[in-house]
Amino acid sequence: MKKILLFTILMVSWVSTAQITLRGVVKDSIGEPLEMANVIAIDNVAKTISSFGFTDSSGSFKLDLKRNTTYNVKISYVGFKEISETVQTKEESIVKNYTMFEDNMLDGINIVAKMPVTIKGDTIVYNADSFKNGSERKLKDVLDKLPGVEINDDGQIEVEGKAVEKIMIDGKEFFSGDTKLATENIPSNAVDKIQVLRNYGDVSQLSGVQNNQDRVAINIKLKEGKKNFWFGDVLAGAGDSPDTGLYLFQPKLFYYTPKYTINIIGDVNNMGEVVLSRRDARSFGGSFQSQSPSNGTNINIADAGIGFLNASTRNANRIETKLAALNFSYSPNPKLDLSGFLIWSGNSNGQRNINTIDYIDPDTPDDVVDNSTNQTSNNGLFRFSTIYKKNINNQLNYNVSGRFSNEFRTDNVNSVVLSDIVETEKATPYTINQDFSYFYTANEKNIFALEVQHLLQDEDPFYLASLENDPFNNNPTNDEDLEDSEDGFDDTAFTLGLDRSNLYYNLEQDRRVKTNQVDAKLDYYYILNDKSNLNFVTGTILSSQNYDSRFFQILDDGSEVDPTPAIAGIDSSETTNDTEYNFTDIYAGLRYRLKTGIFTITPGFTVHSYNSNNTQYGSETFKDTFFKVLPEFETIAQFKSSESLTFTYKQEVNFTDVNQIARGIVANSYSSYFAGNADLINASFHNVSLFYRSFNLFNNSSVFARVNYRKTIDQVNSNTIFEDNSVVSSSTSINSPFDNESFTAFARLSKTIRKITARIGGNFSFNKSYQFINSLENTNENVSRGFNTRIGTNFRKAPNVSLSYNLTYNDQVNSARTEDINTVTHAPAINFDAYIWNSLTLTSDFTFNEVRQEGSKQSSFNIWNAKLAYRKDKDAKMEYELVGSNLLGTGSETSVGQSIISFNVNERFIMPRFISLRLRYQL
């Protein structure tokens, strides 16, 4: 670590001292400064761009150049004649001013295309080759080197602190619903330009009447040689590990023409390289992106599926992945675009976790749980989209998408308190989403937008638990016998009304949740003038859910028994559910949008008529009808095209779904039972946020910062009731009598100085909530502070090193505890990549993690991965790779977690050391 840090410092010093600066001012013929003029310096010998920049609001520019070198300096600005001048650098910095003259022939447009970065309104265009050093293989490798662009820990793309909504290739959407498929699979050598589309909107008719500052998309422009031909690569590999042989086969093929496109992605491997995880599949392709703002009503349609654990090389000891994906688009004429995808994804994995649990309730014994999990998920996904643009005033969209799953999970659990348990879960859910929208511009003052979404969802989770039991020790004669003889689950079995005379407690839970929901709204925009407009909105949400469940015991002789629970703090003694829940929201609203100077001000409100009605067991009916006015306000201060400050206030209401309302007993797990509350009311949110962004290409810096405060009234919380001297709990939902609060803030500053890029960031969060344990109210406060920094080089023809360091403080204060919990996490990392002799690529990454509590080390682990690849030259079709994963042979990782009921130290066993040899063939 010390040697690499010293190397980086020396590289920074060398870069800083080996260059001089060319500064100056660019003005027009009457002496007015020209902002955002393109300035580039081309090395006359190497014939490459050595430095580039832009003029700021005062016309100033700055280029970093080598000493004693001859350059061709070119300055271009749309509408002016290009300036081209030879500059000879010596030992001292140079100051030169330039005057540009108008040119109606618009010379210089071709020069703009050569710039590494150009800005055209809300679009930032990156020339991909300007940021490559030869070690890149996929799109993500290029994106991670672009100023203002970052790949976060979840693999999603962020631009200027905002998540990218979609990725397109030559204007055609690529696997709608997830950007990771694009970043992980599109070959870097096919990418010509990367266009970042800020203030993105799917419908051009609405661009002048809406604020889309939080929406970002990326369009990839392919190189000319990649069009009308198949391109991509095929990767095959094999290797060895301590437990099994390794295999990998990943074909990735692409075909693009102006009229149609085909993308094929395949994957079969057991090396832990998950292209599409089960979590990705469940959120993939079904999202509906409304073109108008949210109208203040949220319905949390819960996932009633099984407790499937997401798997990666950092939390699983076995991963097998299979994927077949087809994406297509077809444009039979300029007015009609058809697109869609078909995906089949299979994931099988094994996980082992040893969880040491310290419960907040002092009467609840601490536990150590050793859990081995095997789970399989098979998902089929499809999407079909139609966009019909009759003319500039008429656009019609229709999308239908679906997901069909077959998944199951088995857990073998050893609990110090409860002994041995076997759990089985399975489900075959499906979801179908449809959305229809029509946008009509009647004339220059009147625009209409109709949007309708329909959700159909069916979930059928099944749960079975088997716990060991000694039927002869259920009733100890005195307290001394209790600890030594009674099984840990016996008291719970008594409370649940189970038959305790069997060798096993075999518990089964069948559930069925059906959801049918329609969300329709009509927006009318009236243009008052070129500075302001009105938006009238009316709409409705109609939701219907049916919930059926049965919890019962299977005796040793195979017969079934319905338990008779008597749980303190839970009114219901039912072990079945038969609930129908209907919800209606009818609303209307008005927004006024005004541009004045640098400000765009948008006040508004919506008026809602709510009606909820749930009927349980065919006879018990619970109703709630009320009106609500929800105000909202947004102000954007646009200081420059790349600098703004946004203030937002919004009041929203949140409704739960049938899973929280159905009041019969449900077994969430062998140690957690739940009963809903039919009397729940909605929660209300007050949300205030402030977001600042600055992306300055003149001095190669960017600043992003956000502050957010939320106050929640009538928050739906849980009342958790623990059995005496047991880790088994039962809970029910209640509306908190106290307001919950949260405050979050983050900031990130990045700066590039010549070939050195540095980033520093921080975050802070405060959450105050009220929990109920054994019907007693407790105050829970969590404070988290984080600091992260990264410094790295960005050479074109030299090795690059990146150092990062994350420091996180987590403090939990709970009124039920006599002591606070203070945790500190240190996580430094090193990344290295080099492209040597135009044939050899070496990449490596090392991460270290240490968790401390009250100054005492709780856990530490480190991971080292490396890859060595050889190809004859950069245009060679064959490449050979030697890949090593977890080279230090780390067996497990440990994390520390804090929840409202416990403090946990969780040891996760991970994938062993892998060494594999791979062959990549480039089409």
pLDDT digits (tens, 9 = 90+) for 267-302: 999 998 877 776 676 666 545 566 667 788 988 787
Which segments within 794-820 are labelled E, that is strand? 800-814
Q: Give the model confidence (pLDDT) of 390-413 as tens digits.
A: 998 999 999 999 999 999 999 999
pLDDT band for position 34 (50/70/90)? confident
Please give the radius of gyration of the chain, using alpha carbons only, rounded to the nearest integer: 31
Predicted confidence band at 583 (pLDDT cuts at 50, 70, 90)? very high
Whether residue 422 has pLDDT greater than 50: yes
**Quick one: average pLDDT of 334-361?**
91
Residue 112 pLDDT: 44
Q: Which is higher by pLDDT, 48 or 749?
A: 749
Residues 721 and 725: their CA atoms lie apart, in Å, by: 12
Of the candidate ranges 380-384, 522-526, 894-898, the one whose mean pLDDT is the lowest = 894-898
Q: 728-745 in b/e burial notation, b at 16+ Cβ within 10 A?
A: bbbbbbbbbeeebbbbbb
Q: Compute the C-alpha angle 160/162/164, nearest 5°.
A: 110
Overall average pLDDT of the 105-133 stretch: 69
Question: CB-based contacts of 331: which residues, under 8 Å, 6+ apart?
Answer: 258, 259, 260, 337, 338
Cα dihedral: 751, 753, 756, 757 (round 10): 10
| DSSP at 574 | -
Is 677 within 8 Å of 661 (Cβ atoms)?
yes
Write the pLDDT tens digit of every residue in 815-864: 877 778 888 999 999 999 998 888 899 999 999 999 888 778 878 889 99
pLDDT tens for each residue of 666-689: 998 888 899 988 888 899 999 999
The two tokens of residue 767 are: 């959450």
pLDDT in tens, 39-75: 888 888 877 778 888 888 788 888 888 888 999 998 8
Q: Which residue(s) pair with 550 in the sheet? A: 510, 576
| Stronger pLDDT, 532 or 13, i.e. the higher one | 532
- Residue 472 CB neighbour total at 10 angstroms: 8
Q: Tell me what percent of the chain is helix, strand and coil, each rounded to the nearest 5.
A: 5, 60, 30
Q: Is residue 113's pLDDT more than 80?
A: no
Single-letter amino acid, residue 549: S
Distance CA 843, CA 867 (A): 5
Reply yes or no on whether the pLDDT at 537 is more than 90.
Answer: yes
Place of tokens 């892998």: 914
Q: What pLDDT score was predicted for residue 108?
A: 40
Contact 308, 349 (CB under 8 A): no
Q: Distance (Å, rounded) from C-alpha 454 to C-alpha 39?
A: 52
Length of the chain equals 923
Mean pLDDT of 780-790: 92
The larger pLDDT score, comparing residue 294 to residue 15, is at 294
794: which residues sit within 8 A by CB, 6+ positions away?
131, 145, 752, 755, 756, 757, 800
CB 496 within 8 A of CB 667: no
Count of C-beta atoms within a 10 Å radius of residue 291 = 18
Q: Is the pLDDT of residue 240 over 90?
A: no
Q: Say if residues 292 and 451 touch (Cβ distance below 8 Å).
A: yes
Quickly list H helices, 402-538: 479-485, 490-496
Helix (H, G, I), strand (E, B) or coil at 199: coil
What does pLDDT average to over the chain? 86
Measured CA angle at 825 (ends 824, 831), to 5 deg: 155
Of 305 and 537, the one with more pLDDT:
537
pLDDT exceeding 70 applies to what percent of the chain? 93
With contact defined as beta carbons under 8 Å apart, do 313 and 886 qualify? yes
The per-residue b/e assignment along 92-109, b for 16 or more CB within 10 angstroms, e otherwise, is eebeeebebeeeeeeebe
Spatial contact of 590 and 597, defined as CB atoms under 8 Å apart: no
Q: Kindly tell me the burial class for residue 503, based on how many C-beta atoms sit within 10 Å of its own C-beta (0-12, 13-18, 19 or more).
A: exposed
What is the signed CA dihedral for 165, 139, 341, 425, rounded to 10 degrees?
-80
On the question of pLDDT at 149 being above 60, the answer is: yes
**Tokens linked to 528:** 């008052």
Contact 11, 793 (CB under 8 A): yes
Tokens, residue 54? 């832009």
pLDDT of residue 138: 87
- Beta partners for 313? none
The SS3 call for residue 106 is coil
Residue 316: predicted pLDDT = 87
DSSP state of 610: E
pLDDT of the residue at 110: 44
Distance CA 619, CA 617 (A): 6
Q: Percent of the chain at pLDDT above 90? A: 45
Residue 37 has pLDDT above 60, yes or no: yes
Confidence of residue 535 (pLDDT cuts 50, 70, 90): very high
d(C-alpha 388, C-alpha 626), whole Å: 40
Cβ neighbours for 528, distance < 8 A, ≥ 6 positions apart: 534
- Confidence at residue 551, expressed as pLDDT on a 0 to 100 scale: 93
Residue-by-residue DSSP string for 1-45? -HHHHHHHHHHHHHHHHSEEEEEEEEEETTS-B-TT-EEEEEETT
Please tell me the distance from the alpha carbon of residue 626 to that of residue 609, in angstroms, as a whole number: 6
What does the angle CA 472 – CA 477 – CA 480 come to, to the nearest 5 degrees?
105
Alpha-carbon distance of 498 to 884, in angstroms, equals 52
Tell me phi and psi for residue 186, to 5 degrees: -70, 125
Distance, in Å, from the CA atom of 180 to the CA atom of 157, rounded to the nearest integer, reads 8
pTM: 0.85
Q: Are strands 892-898 and 902-909 parallel, antiparallel or unpaired?
A: antiparallel
Q: What is the pLDDT of residue 283?
A: 64
Task: Indicate the residue type of 327.
Answer: N
State in Å, rounded, how far the first CA of the chain is from the last one: 39
